[in-house]
Amino acid sequence: MTTDIPPTIETQALAALALDLQGSSPDCLKFFAALFASHDPILKVRRAFASEGVLESTLQSRFGRASLPSPKQYVDQAILVRLRGAAAAHPQWSFARLSAEFGASSPQSFGRFIRRVTGETSTEWLGQSTPEEELESFRASLILPYVETLRSFHPFDRSADRKPPLKRKTIERIRAGLEKYMGSKP
């Protein structure tokens, strides 16, 4: 006897993103896998990507240089997708229980998070759509408009931060300027 267990919203998200981001760099796929495959219920950019050896500020800069939404926007929206999935899977849970499951310090702080990200109260937001609709909203706002950029994006590639070496003429001009400024002092 087999039981048909519906896929979780996290599984659905990973499958949809794998299709959207076909041909992407492994580290771009790893970024999105961390959003939906993490066992950490409340993701923090700092914690989620610390294992990659990338500081939050560096990640912010890389996303900004690529003209992508901030990593925090991706993290916050992924939390909303996962929250809606948990609420649908456990309709008997109170908001306080959902808050605790997601590692929030209190239902009030989790409610403030929802209001900050969505502009709505937790009650308003939770009653509006399905997990699948929330996932589609995530994809429509943060993936599909940027899919070409994301396919060539390397969020964890340290070589992207290295500047090309200066040319000899540039070095000579800098030296000449310094000598003039310093009055030819050694």
Does a structural domain hold residue 2? Answer: no
121 against 174, higher pLDDT: 121
- Residue 57: the pLDDT is 85
DSSP state of 109: H
Does a structural domain hold residue 1? Answer: no
What is the pTM for the complete model shown? Answer: 0.79
What is the count of structural domains for the chain?
1
DSSP state of 156: T
Residue 144, pLDDT above cutoff 80? yes
- Residue 178: the pLDDT is 73
Does a structural domain hold residue 143? Answer: yes
Does a structural domain hold residue 47? Answer: yes
DSSP state of 155: T
Does a structural domain hold residue 4? Answer: no
Cβ count near 106 (within 10 Å) = 11
Question: Can you tell me the distance from the alpha carbon of 10 to that of 165, in angstroms, rounded to the nearest whole number?
Answer: 43
Percent of the chain at pLDDT > 90 equals: 51
DSSP state of 184: S
- Residue 175: the pLDDT is 77
Q: What confidence tier does 173 reach under pLDDT thresholds 50, 70, 90? A: confident
Closest CA to 62 of 159, 175, 134: 159
At 7-33, the pLDDT tens digits run 789 999 999 999 999 999 998 998 898
Does a structural domain hold residue 3? Answer: no
At 77-106, the pLDDT tens digits run 999 999 999 999 999 999 999 998 888 889
Domain span holding position 162: 9-182
Does a structural domain hold residue 136? Answer: yes
- Residue 1: the pLDDT is 42
Is the distance from CB of 72 to CB of 63 less than 8 angstroms?
Answer: no
Does a structural domain hold residue 27? Answer: yes
Question: Can you tell me the distance from the alpha carbon of 57 to that of 63, in angstroms, rounded to the nearest whole number?
Answer: 10
- Residue 95: the pLDDT is 92
Residue 47, pLDDT above cutoff 80? no
